[in-house]
Amino acid sequence: MVILYMYHEGLTLEESINVMLDLIREHYDLCTAAEQRVPKTGDAKLDADVQTYIVGCRDLAIGTAYWSYNCERYFKFHQVNEKREVLLDMSYI
């Protein structure tokens, strides 16, 4: 997505990364706010099941992000330095 913003919006790498970070923060806030708006039904079991489902959705999102940075699907291990920063070759852009 960063490269798409650079190409289609004419942004620098840093500007594009900042846009993506803002989008991530915005969507995190939207999800957190939506979680707070889930109404209680008065049925303790149903409310607990709904809460379990919500936690599962959150865990899935976090786990997917964690997985994407800890396998070689998107970044090869040699691209990640000792500070766990991803080093990208941008020479082709």
pLDDT 10s digits, 16-67: 999 999 999 999 999 999 999 999 999 999 999 999 999 999 999 889 888 8
This prediction has a pTM of: 0.63
Residue-wise burial string across 20-35, b where 16 or more C-beta atoms lie within 10 A, e elsewhere: eeeeeeeeeeeeeeee
Burial class (CB in 10 A: 0-12, 13-18, 19+), 68: exposed
Q: Do 29 and 58 belong to one domain?
A: no
Residue 88 has pLDDT above 90, yes or no: no
- Give the range of the structural domain holding residue 48, as residue numbers without chain letter: 43-93
Q: Do 26 and 7 belong to one domain?
A: yes
Q: Do 32 and 50 belong to one domain?
A: no
End-to-end Cα, the chain, rounded Å: 14
Domain count, the chain: 2
Q: Do 24 and 67 belong to one domain?
A: no
Number of C-beta neighbours around residue 74 at 10 A: 10
